[in-house]
Amino acid sequence: MSQQVYAVEAVDLYKSYGDTWALNGLTMRIGPGEIYGLLGPNGAGKTTTLKILAGLLKPSRGYARIYGVEVSSRRVEALRLVGYVPENPVVFQNLTVEEFLRFVAALRGLDWREVSGDAEYYLEVFGLAGRKDSFMGELSRGMVQKVLVSAAFLVRPKVLLMDEPTAGMDPESQHVFKEEVRRLSSKGVTSLISSHQLDSVERLCTRVGIIYKGRLIAEGTVEELKSRVSEKPGSTLEEAFLKIVKSGESGG
């Protein structure tokens, strides 16, 4: 029987910043087509996890793989499979929106003629069609976020790594984002989304992991996590999250 290959695999990840340990043996595995929500309080290790998976940080111990490709040792190969939206957007402010998308496509070795139609589609659905000649530095935070999400979708990834991807977005654009993630999921694209917007995670994600002090302390579908802490009908993911984190704090 062949060994299963996961879309995203993090095994026994440790990461220290000086004397502070951001990750303490984090292990999680995500299959093709899953929409996985990564939750945790501030400082739990969510952003560190995504940066390791995106090849921006090296773990102190353990390993991360994208479709079986070890990220630290085969970073370029692994990142060909990934679309990434960082928590804190860093963009070339003197590039126009279209120039930025062309630049991202070129970095991935994509012919603009092949993806220009996708670029036009995403700019249209995110309400940016009239801003393609605007400089990135002129855009609001929400608009920049929509461009970054469009760029991540544009590279035709097998895995999307997204850290607070809807930050600053208007409700209509958040809806567009969720619908596109669902559409890509139906085609086998895996999404790992770190977010504090628990109501959005509850409606979007097929599975959720909760990390606390650099460890995965709970994992399952939204319904499984809710039933774990309450049998009360109508309970929310937010209630489950707060109880699970509190339990983690008390060592329960």
Helix, strand, coil % in the chain, rounded to nearest 5: 40, 25, 35
Q: Per the CATH hierarchy, to which homologous superfamily does domain 1-81+197-252 belong?
A: P-loop containing nucleotide triphosphate hydrolases (3.40.50.300)
Q: What pLDDT was estimated at residue 252?
A: 55
pLDDT digits (tens, 9 = 90+) for 65-84: 999 999 999 999 999 999 99
For the chain, domain boundaries: 1-81+197-252
For residue 53, what are its two tokens?
Answer: 């998976």
Residue 114 vs residues 96, 127, 135, 158: alpha-carbon distances, Å: 20, 22, 23, 17
10-residue mean pLDDT series, the chain (252 residues): 80 94 96 97 94 95 96 94 88 90 92 94 95 93 94 96 94 95 97 94 96 95 89 83 84 58
From the DSSP assignment, how many helices (H) and strands (E) are in the chain? 9, 10
**How far is Cα 54 from Cα 212, in angstroms, rounded to an integer?**
21
pLDDT (0 to 100) of residue 1: 38
Tell which residue, 221, 249, 251, 213, has the closest CA to residue 237. Answer: 221
pTM: 0.93
